[in-house]
Structure 1
Amino acid sequence: MSRTVLFYEREDYYDFKAGKALEGIKIVSISKYARNLDLINEINVDEEIIDISVLTEYNNMQFVGEQVINQFDDFPLFICDSSKRETIEYELRFVFDEFSEVDKDTFIKSKNEGRIEKDVVIEKKHKKIIDLSDNELEQFFTDFNEALYGHPKFKDDFAEQVRAFRIFNKLKEHKVLSLFLMGDSGVGKTEVARSIFKCLNGKKKFAKINFGNYSTESSLSSLIGSARGYIGSEDGEIFMKVRETDVGVLLIDEFEKSNSTLFNYFLDVLESGKMTSSMGEEIDINGFIIVFTSNISKENFQNRISPELRSRFDYKCMFTLLGNEDKRKYIEFRVTSISKKVQAEYLIDIEENLRAFLLQEINVSMFNNMRDINKQIKRKFLKYSTTYLLSDEVEQGEEEQEISNVSWKRRFLNFFKD
Structure 2
Amino acid sequence: MDEISESALPFPHRAGNLLAIHYFVVWEKHDGKTEQHLSWARKLYKYMTPYVSKNPRATYLNFRDLDIGINEDDGGTTSTCDNVQQPSIWGPKYFKNNFEKLIKGAFWACDNKLGTHGVHEFSEERGPEYVWRLLAGKERGRKRTSMERSAGELAHCCWALTRASGDVHMLGLKSTLNLDGSGHYRTTLERSRGHVEEYGCEWGLAASEFNFILYLLSTSINNQRLLFPSTPKPFAVITPTHVSHIQTTVYCAKKHGVQIRIRSGGHDYEGLSIVSYTPVPYVVIDLKNLSSISIDVESKTAWAQTGATLGELYYRIAEKSETLAFPAGDCHTVGLGGQIGGGGYGYLTRKYGLAADNAIDVEFIDVEGRILNRKSMGEDLFWAIRGGGASSFGIVTAWKLRLVDVPAK
TM-score, structure 1 as length reference: 0.22
- Structure showing greater relative contact order (alpha-carbon pairs closer than 8 Å, 6 or more residues apart): 1
Instruction: Select the structure that is richer in helix.
Output: 1
TM-score, structure 2 as length reference: 0.23
Q: Which has the larger radius of gyration?
A: 1
